[in-house]
Amino acid sequence: MVPREITLRRSPLAAKQRGHAPHRPACRPALPLAQASLKLAPLVVIPAPKANCSAVCSAVEAHAIGRRRLCLSFVFFSLGGGVWCSCSSGGETMGPDRVVGVAALQFACSDDVESNVSKAETLVRDAHAQGANIVLIQELFEGYYFCQAQREDYFARSHPREGHPTIERMQRLAKELGVVIPVSFFEEANNAHYNSIVVIDADGTDLGVYRKSHIPDGPGYQEKFYFNPGDTGFKVFKTKFATIGVGICWDQWFPEAARAMALMGAEVLFYPTAIGSEPQDGDLDSSEHWRRVMQGHAGANLVPLVASNRIGQEIIETERGPSKIAFYGTSFIAGPTGEIVASADNKSEKVLVAKFDLNKIKVKRHSWGIFRDRRPELYKVLLTSDGQL
């Protein structure tokens, strides 16, 4: 759809104050940028017949004002009181609104699979009723976070992706409600095991799997005992409502993961999580640090971000006695500049929902130039472990 151009004239009051008679300037070719006046005076917007604004758009495309273009719902540049257009920054056309509702679920898990999956289904329905199109369930929600302990019997909790009962149940739910659901599960693939997510589209289609790339190994979070490092690489999934990127828990602490998904076209980032207290340091509360790291990913890439965490205390028996973690919840949704727009506390079951216009966010992202000004040839050091080239 071709945007309708508009002509703007200075208000009669402003003209009178300058000692000039109010007038409505005729459409004329844009002045060269060097001659263009960039001072904004009080303006009145007047609908006008279609005009050729390509010259203005070309000039704007070639010149960023202070490394950042003026951007509102539309971008208006005053070029000597001449032609004005409703083209978006960077010469892009602002398309119709493309609003997507996203949700994060937060709840306590028992060690009963049916109870947990039923709880997740109930909350997905609640999120859908509140207008969510994409609903994120927390990491490994089918049961306790078993990685507190190294127990061989817990490998029995893994299942192949094909024929997985929880995935199939969520496929039916997604199709019924018309929502997208990323589903976290303990994946068995021949002799390998992964901490994985399958993304289910709004028609129930399995769009593919992402396997967790960064595997932690510390007191209470002994995931290396269970999971192979993911072999899928970072991925994006083109769902009915948006192109999304999904990382899993420890992935969220690495800015490279978020940037990789954003570069591949992710419009929203999702991070299902299982994080809480540290068994070796009961006084440590990393929840604010956890949030700020991901808020930075949202702001640095100018994409919304959804983080879902569990709540409640879980106790796992180990050879050395019981191990316990108090999961601190604080699930949240961040906007494209990192601001938190929806938030949960550390104890309550919660469904968080927020809506974003992805077309307007795209214009904002492009107007900032953060991807235009990247210098990939300078980032080779990121491919090293010790910073030595």
Q: How many residues does the chain have?
A: 389
Give yes or no for a contact between 316 and 149, defined as CB atoms under 8 angstroms apart: yes
- Residue 268: both structure tokens together: 């929203």
Active site residue 249: yes
Residue 100 CA to residue 37 CA, distance in Å, equals: 38
- CB 89, CB 64: distance < 8 Å: no
The widest CA-to-CA distance across the chain, in whole angstroms, is 89
> CA angle, 310 as apex, 274 and 226 as ends, to 5°?
30
How many CA atoms does the CB half-sphere of 226 hold within 13 Å?
A: 29
CB 339 within 8 A of CB 364: no
List of residues 6+ apart from 204 with CB closer than 8 A: 171, 172, 174, 175
CA-nearest of 210, 291, 216, 294 to 250 is 216
Q: Where are the alpha helices (DSSP H) in 49-101?
A: 54-62
Catalytic residue among 57, 119, 187, 212: 212
Q: Which of 38, 47, 34, 36 is nearest to 6 (CA)?
A: 47
Query: Is 109 marked active-site?
Result: no
What is the C-alpha separation between 297 and 268, in angstroms, rounded?
11
> Under DSSP, is residue 185 helix (H, G, I), strand (E, B) or coil?
strand
339 belongs to the catalytic site: no
CA distance 129 to 187: 30
* CA atoms of 47 and 208, how far apart (whole Å): 48
Which one from 5, 85, 249, 362 is the annotated catalytic residue? 249
Among candidate residues 87, 109, 121, 139, the one labeled active-site is 139
The angle at the Cα of 168, spanning 164 to 174, to the nearest 5 degrees, equals 145
Catalytic residues: 139, 212, 249
